Amino acid sequence: MSRMPRPTDRTLLRSVPLSLTSSRRGHACKRRTTFNLTAARSSPEKAGGGGGVNCSLLRTRRTSFVVAACVLLLVSPSVSVHAAEPVVREGVHLRLTSDVNDAALLADLVDSFDAAVPQWLAFWGLPTNAADNWKVDGYLMRDADAFRRSGALPDTLPPFENGFATPTAIWVHYQSTDYYNRHLILHEGVHALSFTLFGGSGPSWYSEGTAELLATHRDRQRAERDPRQANGLLAQSAQEFRINELPQSVDDSPMWGRYRVVAERRQAGELPTLASVLKLPTELNGDVETYTWCWAAAMMLTAYDDTREAYLHAARQGRDASPAFTTQFYRDISHQWPALRARWLLWLNDLEFGFDRARYRVGLSTDDPKYDGRNHSLNIDAARGWQSAGCWFPAGTLQLRAGGQCVIVAKENLQPSAEEAIAARDWLSTPAGITVHHHRGYPIGQLQVCVLPIPSAQDKKMAELDIQAPFFSRIVSAGDESTGSVADVATIQINSPSWVLFRINDAPGERGRYQRADNRGGYQVEIAR
């Protein structure tokens, strides 16, 4: 949970001194740092989120890394035995104060933050100099009570689970992984910058969705060498660091947990509707599940051309956290609302490690024409997710004929160290699929059909996705020259006006050649009444 301090609190927060030590040219020296909350961007609305995962649920082993750094302190004997002396790390946009004795981590957090700011500006379509004079005070706290006693964590702030933001300062509770410390620092930084640029960050679904989107990234392991040596810089460097980049495996995002939430709710048949996400309450209290839905909605709405502009434009109304914000946003996208509801259902069913926004976008729209009753031919690409027939179908039956072959790259057969050796180990598949390997209960390589009813205003719940596999299975091994094209015929039933989608089943993969994008070829499908 996070919100702006009340206007009456600001006089109490304006000049709270904090005794810090910092190094200069290799020497430790005392200095006084003033914690200052200005009233330049006053708003009683919510300023930021915690977006946190319960640390007791997700743990990861951290790599030990010892580094000499000039920002480490000479600890004074007078320091309380309950807390380490705070360290200050200065960047262009972040002044980070922490009691965490890890110079490499603190340097990484500041560098990542500075690398993220121009990417945030580009996301919003703002000029590169829009944040030239912007800098925020950040606090990474292992012992929050020590920060509270010093005045750096004001008593006037409400309790928060993981992180909190105001226009000029952010606070984050220390996490057990580098990734999640970085994620939370970035998340709260997005909130703080939103107040500077737009006067606020909108209602909770928009505020937290945007912050989660712009904080998500892939972890980079620490370099093995001393950073003072050549080529010993942290792998998480400003040149490499990218935000709004989806993790491809658990190793990419320890403690992040968003895909886990989606998988659990999908398995239980409890996925939320898009409308319910847009109606989330103002205070989310750092609940990882609701933050997951906000993130998923923000990602989908910015992934499609017909909703991206409306989503980005809404940031300019950030001062308004009332229902009027969402009402206006709905008006801007309402012409595609039935299609958005259908996309949302597909989106949540596809979200897992390896998900690729570009390859999983589905070309369906409320502007699609009605099926004209003629025979249609489609090419279904093995390197993409669901693919639409390009029209909607009234109730009735459809005859499907499928043929052709595609190559499915199976993760188990890959040898990344031997590039040329893996080609003969790819799987050659027909529309029936390959029963040796399965993903979510279906053979990989199998042609799947989804009859997706066009949602009506009366439909208040998320329907289950109707995935059919009308073609029986057969095994085809790679390199078998005697194997030819296989053509199968199937009939599907449509009970109400619907879109009809096709895909070639495969696990999305993890990284490199494990991606669906590595598949080659596809099937030819003919549709007839």
Mean pLDDT of the chain: 79
Region 24-46: what's the mean pLDDT?
Answer: 31
Region 355-367: what's the mean pLDDT?
Answer: 93
CATH of domain 364-528: 2.60.120.430
Can you tell me the distance from the alpha carbon of 257 to that of 309, in angstroms, rounded to the nearest whole number? 29
Residues of the chain with CATH 2.60.120.430: 364-528
Q: How confident is the model at residue 440 (pLDDT cuts 50, 70, 90)?
A: confident
Residues 6+ apart with CB under 8 A from 298: 206, 209, 210, 212, 213, 311
Measured from the Cβ of residue 141, the count of other Cβ atoms closer than 10 Å reads 21
SS3 per residue for 314-373: HHHHCCCCCHHHHHHHHHHHHHHHHHHHHHHHHHHHHCCCCCCHHHHCCCCCCCCCECCC
Q: Which of 80-89, 220-229, 268-277 has the highest mean pLDDT?
A: 268-277
User: Residue 260 has what pLDDT?
Assistant: 94
Q: Is pTM, for the whole model, over 0.85?
A: no
**Per-residue pLDDT for 222 more than 70?**
no
Q: How confident is the model at residue 515 (pLDDT cuts 50, 70, 90)?
A: low
User: Residue 186 has what pLDDT?
Assistant: 98
Can you tell me the distance from the alpha carbon of 297 to that of 284, in angstroms, rounded to the nearest whole number? 16
Helix-helix angle 204-215:178-198, to 10 degrees: 130
Tokens representing residue 91 in the block = 């960047």
